[in-house]
Structures are given as C-alpha cells and as structure tokens.
Amino acid sequence: MGTVPIYVVLGAVLFSLGVVGFLVRRNIIIMFLCTELMFQGVILNLVGFSTMMQGRAALQGQVFAVFLIVIAAAEAAMALGLVVLLFRRKPTLDAEAWTALWG
Amino acid sequence: MDPAVFCYIGPAVALLGLLLCFPNQPRPARWLGTAIAAIGLAITTFGALRLFGLPILPSAVVPAALLAVWLAGRMITHRNPVYAAIYFGGVVLCSAVLVLVPGAHFLAAILVIVYAGAILVAYIFVIMLAQQAQPVDYDVNVRQPVFAVIAGLGLIVAVLRALMLSPYAVAREAAGSGGSVVSAAGSAAASQAISADNNVVSLGSVLFGQYPVSVEVAGVFLLIAMVGAIVLAGMRINKQQQA
C-alpha cells in the first residue's frame, strides 16, 4: 500500500492543531511556535506526496521542504526580533496587550 | 460498520477532549480531557487503518505519527511556554523519523539540526528572556476555544473526506483496479527512494543543478532576515513610547 495517506492525514492533523493553538493561545511566543507546528504539517505533506513520484522527480518534494525550512528559519528570526522589541516596550507577552489598531 | 464513520467520530471526540485540556480548565477536567482525547485518537487510528489499509507500513510509522500528534496536543495545551517548546522539539524528532522512512535522509538531518537545534533554541532563549517568575493570566486564559476547535475539526474532516474520495481508500474496493494500481506505483516509488544509494548526493545535484538561482535567493533571504532581526531587536525606545 502507498504510504501517502498517513502522511497526508498526519500533516492535516498537525496543521489543524497548529491553527487551533494559534487561535486559542494568548502568549505571543506560543502563537509563533504554533506556526512552526503548521510548517511541520506542510513538510510532512511534501515528503509524503514526493513518495508518489519516480526517480529524480521523487526529490522535488524534498527540495521544496528544504526551501520551506529556510523560510521557517527566516520567519523565526524575524518573529523573535519582533517579540524582543515588543517586550521592551511593554513587559508582557500577551497578544491582547497590543490593541491600538482595534476599531 | 463503515470505517468512514470512525474517521468522522474519532477527530470529533479527540478535539472534544482537547477542549477540556486547555489551560483554563481545572486539573480534573484536564485529566478527563486527556482520557477522552486518547479514546478519540484510538478511534481515528482504527478507522484510518481500516480505510486506507496501512498495517503493511514500516513498523516505526504509526507509533511515530501517534506520538507526534500527542506531543503536538500537549504543546498547545501546556501552561508553561518552556514545556511547550520542549514538546515541539519532540514533534520535530518524530517528524524526522517519519521523513527518514521514505528515504529522505538529508531532510531528516536538517530537521533535527536546524529545527530542533537552531530554531527551537532561539525560541527557548527568548522565552527565558521574557518569562515571568509566576504563572500569568495570558498563559492560563484562552480565547474562543470552541470556535477554534470547530475550525480545526473542519480542516481535519475536509482532508479525511478528500482522501476517502481518492483511490487510496482501499477498504471500499478491496479488489478494485484503481486503488491497487496507484498503491503499487506508490510502494514501488517508496522502495526506489529507499534503495537510492545516496539521498544526499542526489538531493544536492537536484538542488544545485536545477535550482541554483533559488538557492542564491534563499541565501539572500536569510541574510535579509538576519539583518532585519538585528535591527528590530536593537531599536532604541524613548520613554514616552514605553507604556
């Protein structure tokens, strides 16, 4: 049997848990960790679908996943710089402390 | 009983348990939620194994997948951000195992080195920088848990439904030609990927042979992100901005 379904199901579950955590939690750092969880789901999806391909084409999904990890690293660096900046302005990690743009 | 029913009931039960596990609940409710989530996970696994015929997989896949889901659930429900980061490290290690099974050796290595090694340690540094001494209300209280769980359930059920309509749902048409052709091709590709003598060499030749410009762009992207992070974290803040 193909191994694709388990990767797709697990990717969907990890992505959904990341979405739930992002929506529910109020700590900015945990919200960013939840986006990393979503990235994990997408990486598993890419690797799972790449097992459907033959020969060199089987590596395309892995190449995509490598670039995805680059994006994740850049995103983590920017996010943590932003968190440090926000924390120096108000000593809290509460996402709801920053409501100046609410209508 | 139709295994598809398990695939709908299982995620619903598991997410109901997750709802009881959120950090705003008292301790007994969280224990109950853990039990309910475990039952839901077991139902989902049973249904998925029946529906997609997965027991022939390598033995590491199903335990690693279940452990990844469990650690991810612990991660989004734990009160302490440090523990959440550690649990996320566990998720990364599980997904490295899962990536190793189809033969993606390089990807498994950089998942451990870059994700669990670099990104996670950066998160833990910032948590330690900004962590309060005692538990704070924004780690305990949650917002809109019911709507978030319904959204997550919708996502999971949509993907499971799409898979059921695909040729991979082998249980429906056990001897159906469509399913067996696709799964045979899938297993052939998987075994070929495993027997490829060196995944790192072939991945490197694809990366630098077909996508040299993308590699350079990715390097520039990382450089820009690094400069941006340094500028952001080092910005001066005057007194009246400080609330």
Q: For residue A96, is it within any domain?
A: no
CA distance B40 to B34: 10
Domain assignment present for residue A103? The answer is no
pLDDT at B110: 93
The 3 state secondary structure assigned to A23-78 is: HHCCEHHHHHHHHHHHHHHHHHHHHHHHCCCCHHHHHHHHHHHHHHHHHHHHHHHH
Please say if the pLDDT value at position A46 is more than 60.
yes
Two tokens at B75?
Answer: 């991660």
Which residues on adjacent β-strands are paired with residue A27?
A94
Tokens of A78: 């920017």
Instruction: Give the A window 19-58 contacts with B, CB below 8 Å.
Output: 19-21, 23-27, 29-30, 32-34, 36-37, 40, 43-44, 47-48, 50-56, 58
Q: Which residues contact B166 (CB under 8 A, 6 or more apart)?
A: none
Indicate if the pLDDT at residue B215 is higher than 80. yes
Domain boundaries B3-197, CATH class: mainly alpha
- Domain count across chain A: 1
What are the sequence ranges of the domains in chain B?
A: 3-197
Residue A33 domain flag: yes
Residue A97 within a domain: no
Give the distance from residue A101's alpha carbon to the nearest chain B alpha carbon, in angstroms.
16
A102: in domain? no
- CATH number for A48: 1.10.287.3510
Band (pLDDT 50/70/90 cuts) for residue B178 is: very low
Chain B contact present for A98, CB below 8 A: no
Give the structural domain span for A80.
Answer: 4-91
Portion 70-89 of A in contact with B at CB < 8 A: 70-78, 80-85, 87-89
Q: What is the per-residue pLDDT across B135-176, written as a single tens digit (0 to 9) for each?
A: 788 888 888 889 999 999 999 999 888 888 877 766 444 434
pLDDT digits (tens, 9 = 90+) for A51-68: 887 777 788 889 999 999
Sign of the Cα torsion B70, B76, B78, B84 reads positive
Position B55 confidence tier, pLDDT thresholds 50, 70, 90 = low
